[in-house]
Structure 1
Amino acid sequence: MARNEEKAHAMLNRYWAQVADERRQLQPEVRPFDINECSDLARAQHWRQQVVTDLDEKTTLIQNESLGEHKLRDLNDTINRLLLERWKWEKRIFELGGPNLMRSQTPPEYQYFGATKMIPSIREVISKQAPDTRKKTRKELLRNVDYEYYGFCDESPELLEAERRAEIEVW
Structure 2
Amino acid sequence: MERLLKISRIIDACTERIGRLTSFLVLVMVILGLWNVVGRYLGRISGNNLTSNAYIEAQWYIFDLVFFLGAAYTLKHNEHVRVDIFYSNWQRRRKALADLIGTVFFLIPFCVMVIFFSWDTIVASWQIREASSDPGGLPRYPIKATIIVGFVLLIFQGISQAIKNLAILKGYPVSEEENHDAGV
Of structures 1 and 2, the one with the larger relative CO (CA 8 A, separation 6+) is 2
When Rg is computed on C-alpha atoms for both structures, the one with the higher figure is 1
Same fold (TM > 0.5): no
Q: As a proportion of its length, which structure holds more helix?
A: 2
Q: TM-score, normalised by structure 1?
A: 0.33
TM-score, scaled to structure 2 = 0.31
